[in-house]
Amino acid sequence: MPSLPNAEIVGDKVEITVSDNGQGISPEAMDKIFIPFYSTKANGSGIGLSLCRQIIARHKGKISVQSDKNGTRFKIELP
CATH number at residue 37: 3.30.565.10
pLDDT of amino acid 4: 63
Strand partners, 65: 74
Residue 13's SS3 state is strand
Residue 12 lies in a domain: yes
**14 Cβ neighbours under 8 A, 6+ residues apart:** 4, 7, 8, 77, 78
Residue 72 lies in a domain: yes
- pTM of the complete model: 0.86
Residue 1 lies in a domain: no
**Structural domain span for residue 15:** 7-78
- pLDDT (tens, 9 = 90+) of the chain, 79 residues, equals 455 678 999 999 999 999 999 999 999 999 999 999 999 999 999 999 999 999 999 999 999 999 999 999 999 999 9
pLDDT of amino acid 5: 73
Work out how many domains the chain is built from and give that number: 1
What kind and span of H or E run contains 30?
A: helix 27-30
Distances (CA, A) of 3 to 6, 14, 19: 9, 11, 18
Cβ neighbours of 10 (radius 10 Å): 9
